[in-house]
Amino acid sequence: MTGVDRLGPELVLLCFAGIVILTDLFWSRRPLLVGLSLAAIVGSLAWTGSLVARDMQGTAFDGMLVVDDFSLFFAFLFPGVAALVILASVEYAERFSRYQGEYYALILTSTAGMMLMAATTDLIAIFIALELTSISLYILVAFLKTVLSSEAGIKYLLLGALSTAITLYGMAFLFGLSGSTSLSDIADTVAAANDDTRAALIMAVALLTAGLGFKMAVVPFQMWVPDVYEGAPTPITAFLSVGSKAAGFAVMLRIFFVALGDRFISNDWANMFAALAAVSMSVGNVVALSQANIKRMLGYSSIAQAGYFLVGVAAISANGGDLPLGASGVVFFLGAYAFTNLGAFIAIIAISNRTGSDEITSYAGMARRSPLLALGLTLCLISLTGIPPTAGFIAKFYVFDAAVQSDLVWLVIVGVLNSVVSAYYYLRVVLQMYTEEPVSEEQVAAGPALGLALAIAVGGILFVGILPSFLLEASESAAKVFS
């Protein structure tokens, strides 16, 4: 039974997903569905909390599931993200009259998938969790059934299927070399590897990077991002840009740091990730400069942010092979980024619910039409730029600190110069809101659900920015799993 107990947080979400769909059949009442979904998340979080309180770290189902500090961190992060996404969806979901139940249920299943991705050390289980997440998201992206949304859905499905296949191919290499799907067994094989098997390992590294790079949305696997982000329902865009990306990074950290963490191969992939980080940051930021649609802009910005995460992945100490340092930077950044990016999307949803437009020019004079929304969005954008006293600054500082300690000063210089570039397009929106004349005097107000969600996100940004110790300790203990 301890196995089921350890799976509890995910099970709660999946059960409630079923309940939500069934309830929708009989009482299609929107507040009820939202309430049930939120109850699922509260239940899941409570269960996770009790796992922590009861010290239930350990494995279950023959190593298919692990509960350790790393998976527990994400067992808090993903439901938290989902909760904000659900709150952000309440008003937005009025745009599609049918399938309300399915919408919330799919968010729950996909959240469960993300949690499982972080909570397993077996290739088969990783793959299944990946599929659970992805398939739910394919449907959600196309949910608006408009031309743009359907196009986004198809695009995401096709490229997603391709990337899954590539991931599987990479996993097959690892399985072929080691004869096992368990990451720790593979690690033993890698430690004993010689130059004959090196080529196969490099192939596996390249294929896994390509496959998971799609999830993480790093250059050069980012082609789908702008179109899908623009076409998808905005709450789902937020979910993709935070949840799905974080899940990709969680899996990548697991596979690379546990299975491929031996110095025989780790220096190679660290160099590769350093290069990808530099390219991702630069491409994402430069292309974002010219975007006129704020969702596309945030799409490119999320590519650039993924580049900053990769700085942390690449930051394994050159002399000590010290894995946890960079990993804790990535985990911390993921937490800070969740608040920041969700906050930005929530503000955008609230504004576009009233103005009906995602063009940056429609944000003109927003400070007068809605002072609080404008202030909230400004704070999120400042955090994305990495200016204190926000979570974004501490996160960048921490990741760059890890990179300096790993002798990657050049990458840090690339990173900070990219921050300067990014200031232009983030602050341009702020400028629109504060200095331009509003197109109309009509007030823009957020509903209670959106207001609550934005308040949580902004509170998180400031809390982490001013008192980072709490998140820092959590991310450090999560990263110690890899030591």
Partner 1 sequence: MLTFIVFFPLVGAAVVALLPREHEREARWVAAATGFAVLVAAAVLFAIFDRDQSGFQFIQRESWVDGELAHLKLQYLLGVDGLSVALVLLTSLLGMVAILISWNIELRPKEYFAWLLVLESSLFGVFTALDLVLFFIFWEIELIPMYFLISIWGTGRKIYSAWKYVFYTFFGSSFMLVGILVTGFAANTFDMRALAGADLHDALLPTGALFFFLIVAFAIKLPVVPFHTWLPDAHTDAPTAVSVMLAGVLLKMGGYGMLRVSFTILPDVARDAGVYLGAFAAVNILYGAMVTLVQTDLKRLIAYSSVSHMGYVLLGISALGTVGLTGAGMQMFTHGVITGLLFVLVGLVYDRTHTRQIRELSGLAHQMPLIAVVMVIAGLASLGLPSLAGFVSEVTVFLGTFGKYGLLTVMGVIGIVLTAGYILWMIQRVFYGERNPRWAELGDANAWWERAALVGMVAVIVVIGIYPAVLADVIEKGVQPIAAGLA
Contacts of residues 126-131 at CB distance under 8 Å and 24 or more positions apart, as own/partner, are: 126/171, 126/251, 126/254, 126/255, 127/164, 127/167, 127/168, 127/171, 130/164, 130/167, 130/215, 130/251, 131/164
User: Token match 């745009």: residue?
Assistant: 95
Smallest distance from the beta carbon of 71 to partner 1, in angstroms? 18
Nearer to partner 1 (CB atom), residue 49 or residue 438: 438
Closer to partner 1 by Cβ: residue 23 or 328 = 328
Question: In this structure, what token pair is assigned to residue 57?
Answer: 């770290």
Which residues does 436 contact at the CB level (< 8 Å), separation at least 6? 364, 365
Task: Give the nearest distance from C-beta 388 to partner 1 in angstroms.
Answer: 4
Shorter beta-carbon distance to partner 1: residue 8 or 329: 329
Question: Residue 264 or residue 397: which is nearer to partner 1 going by CB?
Answer: 397
What are the helix (H) ranges across 289-388?
Answer: 294-314, 323-355, 366-369, 371-385
Q: Least distance to partner 1 from the beta carbon of 455, Å?
A: 16
Q: Minimal distance in Å, beta carbon 479 to partner 1?
A: 6
Question: Quick check: 107 and 87 in contact, CB under 8 A?
Answer: no
Q: Tell me, what amino acid is at 11?
A: L
Output 349 or 381, the one with its CB closest to partner 1.
Answer: 381
Peptide bond preceding 220 in cis form (omega within 30 of 0): yes
- In the complex, what is the shortest distance from the CB of residue 396 to partner 1, in angstroms, rounded to a whole number? 9
- For residues 326 and 479, what is the distance between their CA atoms, to the nearest angstrom? 8
Maximum CA extent, the chain: 71
Strand partners, 182: 122
Amino acid identity, residue 109? T
In the complex, the smallest distance separating the C-beta of residue 153 from partner 1, rounded to whole angstroms, is 39
Whether a cis peptide bond, with omega within 30° of 0, leads into 371 is no
Residue 407 amino acid letter: D
- Closest to partner 1 by CB, 7 or 336: 336
| Residue 308 beta carbon to partner 1: minimum distance, rounded to whole angstroms | 13
Q: Among residues 37 and 328, whose Cβ is nearest to partner 1?
A: 328
Q: Which residue has the tokens 């197109």?
A: 439
Can you tell me the distance from the alpha carbon of 270 to that of 405, in angstroms, rounded to the nearest whole number? Answer: 14
Q: Tell me the two tokens of residue 184.
A: 């720790």
CB of 126 to partner 1, least distance (A): 25
- Looking at beta carbons only, is 127 or 393 nearer to partner 1? 393
* Closest CB to partner 1 among residues 104, 398: 398
Structure tokens at 263: 């110095």
Closest contact distance (angstroms) between CB of 444 and partner 1 is 16
CB of 25 to partner 1, least distance (A): 48
Report in angstroms how near the CB of residue 259 gets to partner 1 at its nearest.
21
What is the binding site for partner 1 (CB under 8 A)? 324-325, 328-329, 382, 387-389, 393, 397-398, 400-402, 404-405, 407, 409, 412-413, 416-417, 419-420, 423-424, 427, 431, 434-435, 468-469, 472, 476, 479-480
Rounded Cα–Cα distance for residues 157 and 160 (Å): 5
Say how far apart CA 12 and CA 262 lie, in whole Å: 37
Q: How far apart are CA 364 and CA 366, in angstroms?
A: 5
Burial class (CB within 10 angstroms; exposed 0-12, middle 13-18, buried 19+) of 97:
exposed
Q: Which is nearer to partner 1, 81 or 458 (CB)?
A: 458
Q: Which is nearer to partner 1, 138 or 393 (CB)?
A: 393
Cα–Cα dist 34/75, whole Å: 20
